[in-house]
A and B are shown apart, each in its own frame.
Chain A
């Protein structure tokens, strides 16, 4: 019941992006990865999830070697990931975007989806209701069915401040919350990214709040500083930690 990678190396042409990197995450643990721009954080996530194929190293999940599985097969085994920029169809509705997150639980085949009055069509109603719940819980939009689903991409409403950015960032989290997975891969934070704090629904229903407010146990990790420590604390404590700040701002050798 754990995710681990060992001796992962990947190069793009002459550029060695990851050199002999290892990481392990045990159940219930929340791990963050920080480092300056270009340190290879996204690349490591890509190797863990199967978006990039490392030349060396193995990725294990629940005791199974998943190194050679494609992204979708890793996802079906219970790994999910979000991306640095929210990926969504700007011409679709928010409800559709959230419902896409139910895909891994889908049991009907392509043919079943075509038939009227079939099982697939009946579960569709349940999923729609569930999506509506998630949209409310994460306060994604007031108009989930608007086909001008730009709802999330539109410039912020005059009264709502930067809600649009928050909602867009919360969409992938809502998508995954619908799946009941054991483990959620956090999106790699961007340097100078304060939005990750805003990405949380503020006073949402208890469930969402609890999911996102677990105690953090980060690994600071970059080309320059590599340390592991476990200060029990809130995400805010982590963000203000001198070691984390150092890793982002490029201060070499932060006092450990």
Chain B
């Protein structure tokens, strides 16, 4: 029962947190846009948390996969008149397919090489979109993408639709890590030979999850282009990938909510910090400090265990006065 409850902790936190901020947004409407940005980053960062934090497979291509999804949808809707409700399918499938094809040869590389290879992959995608001539709008990008289906240009509706997608990903992620498949993914990270000796098809599983991560990034790209209406080469790309990795590592790569916490931190810090030049300095310092204190980020397994103990302790305290009730009830019966 405790275990079952744990499956729904992260989704519950997301729903409550979202509702609170949206209510505050009634007083400060700019919070709705902030919430949209956080949700967008969270959507790209969550699957990276899964493949990196659980599976040990780093990727610095998430931003470019999002750009690919955004461009795919922008091209299909502006040039071919497709409705965004339909272009969502290729926006997810194209990055996923590309990721799946290239995954096999690269995913057996050690972490540092994999980081570099995915970074160059992201750069290749970015350069390709930049030099795509009229087809991709070259350095100017594409504008005039139609608004999102159902919610249109309403900022509250947009935020709700985006966070609904985030919630779906969180629910799936939570269930996945507590399943046999999730356990096997962790085994791949801890000890690949152990996973193989349990019968895990490591290359196929990693490639599938890498592709799923790219597909979800493509979905985020779809949200981006149809809510802003515009996509340029520097909107989403290698720089986004680096920020996304920062969010995952800072927030806690082992925890489901880690990437969301990282996304929230990054977005709020960006809003409140003056001068874009100082941002790198600030984020770098914060990252070094946090990782020195807790190598697994803010929501590290230790921190989670501590929180669980605190909550369990409170629960026990609450039920503490219960025992005397029983004899008293017995007395009453007598």
| Residues on A facing B (Cβ under 8 Å) | 49, 51, 70-73, 75-76, 80-81, 83, 87-89, 91-92, 96, 99-104, 106, 108, 110, 113-116, 118, 120-121, 124, 127-128, 147-148, 175
A-B contact pairs, 14 of them (CB 8 A): A71-B196, A83-B197, A87-B193, A88-B194, A89-B187, A99-B183, A103-B180, A103-B200, A108-B181, A110-B205, A110-B208, A113-B180, A120-B181, A147-B301
How many angstroms from the CA of A108 to the CA of B182 in the assembled complex? Answer: 12
When C-beta atoms are compared, the residue in chain B nearest to A70 turns out to be B196
Q: A114–B202 contact, CB under 8 A?
A: no
* Distance from B8 Cβ to chain A, minimum over Cβ atoms (Å): 8
Q: B202–A72 contact, CB under 8 A?
A: yes
B131 contacts the other chain (CB 8 A): no
Tell me which residues across on chain A come within 8 A of B173, comparing CB atoms.
114
Q: B209–A110 contact, CB under 8 A?
A: yes
* Distance from A94 Cβ to chain B, minimum over Cβ atoms (Å): 12
Given contacts A92-B186, A113-B182, A116-B175, contact A103 B305 (CB under 8 A): no
B198 contacts the other chain (CB 8 A): yes
Where chain B touches its partner, the secondary structure class is: helix
Tell me which residues across on chain B come within 8 A of A102, comparing CB atoms.
180
Tell me which residues across on chain B come within 8 A of A71, comparing CB atoms.
193, 196-197
Q: A116–B181 contact, CB under 8 A?
A: no
When C-beta atoms are compared, the residue in chain B nearest to A89 turns out to be B190
Tell me which residues across on chain A come within 8 A of B7, comparing CB atoms.
116
Q: B191–A103 contact, CB under 8 A?
A: no
Tell me which residues across on chain B come within 8 A of A118, comparing CB atoms.
175
* Distance from B173 Cβ to chain A, minimum over Cβ atoms (Å): 7
Number of A-B contacts (CB under 8 A): 102
Chain B interface residue bracket vs A? 20 to 34
Tell me which residues across on chain B come within 8 A of A120, comparing CB atoms.
179-181
Given contacts A49-B197, A100-B187, A100-B198, contact A91 B179 (CB under 8 A): no
B102 contacts the other chain (CB 8 A): no
When C-beta atoms are compared, the residue in chain A nearest to B187 turns out to be A100
Q: A116–B197 contact, CB under 8 A?
A: no
Tell me which residues across on chain B come within 8 A of A128, comparing CB atoms.
3
Sample of 20 further A-B pairs with CB below 8 A, known A49-B197, A110-B208, A113-B176: A51-B197, A71-B196, A72-B197, A75-B198, A81-B197, A83-B194, A83-B197, A87-B191, A87-B193, A87-B194, A88-B190, A88-B191, A102-B180, A103-B180, A108-B180, A113-B180, A114-B176, A120-B181, A121-B179, A147-B301
| Residues on B facing A (Cβ under 8 Å) | 3, 7, 171-173, 175-176, 178-184, 186-187, 190-191, 193-202, 205, 208-209, 212, 301, 305
Q: B181–A72 contact, CB under 8 A?
A: no
Among A116, A120, A128, A175, the most chain B Cβ lie within 10 Å of the Cβ of A116
Given contacts A115-B175, A116-B171, contact A103 B184 (CB under 8 A): yes
Q: B182–A101 contact, CB under 8 A?
A: no
When C-beta atoms are compared, the residue in chain A nearest to B209 turns out to be A110
When C-beta atoms are compared, the residue in chain A nearest to B179 turns out to be A113
When C-beta atoms are compared, the residue in chain A nearest to B208 turns out to be A110
Tell me which residues across on chain B come within 8 A of A88, comparing CB atoms.
190-191, 194
The 10 closest A-B pairs by CB, nearest first: A114-B172, A113-B181, A75-B199, A87-B194, A104-B199, A113-B179, A89-B190, A71-B196, A103-B198, A114-B176
How many angstroms from the CA of A196 to the CA of B36 in the assembled complex? Answer: 59
How many angstroms from the CA of A75 to the CA of B202 in the assembled complex? Answer: 13
